[in-house]
């Protein structure tokens, strides 16, 4: 039986209960058939940590107690999916804010305010109503889940966390683990706070690496930015 903290390999398809709209899937063929295919997305089975909060709350809770090769469909209510709709997330924004940024708001336009995405619902005179609720807030969703097994190999566990947090080219990851330390080599540029965050997640989720020293060999994104800025000034 799967328990909290297990690394599990799964495939899934997610849809809205109300109309069957598929909004996410690990199946490339289905993604193309339903019109949601993204060439930047890596399709196929993924590895996640059961109960670690790496997916929707309702889906995350469903893993525990399942068999290692179970297939099932789960209905998830809004509070355990994308949340209930909140009137507090519908904001009235002056037209002047958009004009200042050379944006002409029209209903349906997705805008970004202070790093938060919202959808313009209406434009009237100098007032713009923007909805910052998640597009699927207040909606029931269904997940078809196929569990392919539990991952036991430490290297595969570590690699899955790196992929989840940085989405690199999997082939570019090099990992060496000994009794004293784990060496991670990647081509993905990162800043120190991100590395520290990922290292905490590694030690939190992979018990066998809890007291292991981790050595990182990754390009320093901060230095790359500094060099680019210096080059622009010159």
Domain boundaries, given as residue ranges, for the chain: 1-83+137-152, 87-131, 154-234
Q: pLDDT band at residue 193, thresholds of 50, 70 and 90?
A: very high
Q: List the single range of 16-30, 89-103, 151-165 with lowest mean pLDDT.
A: 89-103
Q: What is the mean pLDDT of residues 195-220?
A: 94
How far apart are the C-alpha atoms of 99 and 105, rounded to whole Å? 9
Strand partners, 119: 110, 131
Inform me whether the pLDDT recorded for 219 exceeds 70: yes
| pLDDT cut 70: percent of the chain above it | 98
Distances (CA, A) of 227 to 120, 186, 188, 193, 217: 38, 20, 17, 19, 19
Q: What is the pLDDT of residue 234?
A: 64
Structure tokens at 65: 């107690």
The CATH classification number of 154-234 equals 3.30.70
CB atoms near residue 157 (< 10 Å): 21
* Nearest one of 37, 23, 12 to 139, comparing CA atoms: 23
Any idea which residue has 């670690």 for tokens?
Answer: 52
Class of 1-83+137-152 in CATH: alpha beta
Choices 2.40.10.330, 1.20.1250.20, 3.30.70.100, 3.90.1200.10: CATH for 87-131: 2.40.10.330
Q: How many residues does the chain have?
A: 234
Q: pLDDT band at residue 43, thresholds of 50, 70 and 90?
A: very high
């Amino acid at each position: 039986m799967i328990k909290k903290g297990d690394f599990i390999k799964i495939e899934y398809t997610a849809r809205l209960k109300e109309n069957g709209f598929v909004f996410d899937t690990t199946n490339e063929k289905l993604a193309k058939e339903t019109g949601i295919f993204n060439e930047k997305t890596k399709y196929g089975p993924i590895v996640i940590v059961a109960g670690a909060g790496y997916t929707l709350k309702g889906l995350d809770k469903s893993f525990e107690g399942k068999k290692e090769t179970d297939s099932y469909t789960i209905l998830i209510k809004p509070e355990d999916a994308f949340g209930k709709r909140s009137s507090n997330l519908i904001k009235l924004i002056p037209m002047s804010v958009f004009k200042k940024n050379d944006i002409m708001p029209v209903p349906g336009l997705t805008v970004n305010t202070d790093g938060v995405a919202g959808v313009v619902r209406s434009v009237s005179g100098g007032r713009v109503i923007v909805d910052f609720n998640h597009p699927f807030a207040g909606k029931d969703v269904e997940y078809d889940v196929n569990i392919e097994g539990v991952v036991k190999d430490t290297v595969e566990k570590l690699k899955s966390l790196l992929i989840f947090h940085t989405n690199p080219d999997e082939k570019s990851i090099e990992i060496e683990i000994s009794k004293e330390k784990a060496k991670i080599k990647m081509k993905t540029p990162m800043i120190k706070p991100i590395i520290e965050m990922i290292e905490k997640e590694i030690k939190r989720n992979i018990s066998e690496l809890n007291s292991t020293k981790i050595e990182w060999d990754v390009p320093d994104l901060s230095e790359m930015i500094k060099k680019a800025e210096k080059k622009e000034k010159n």
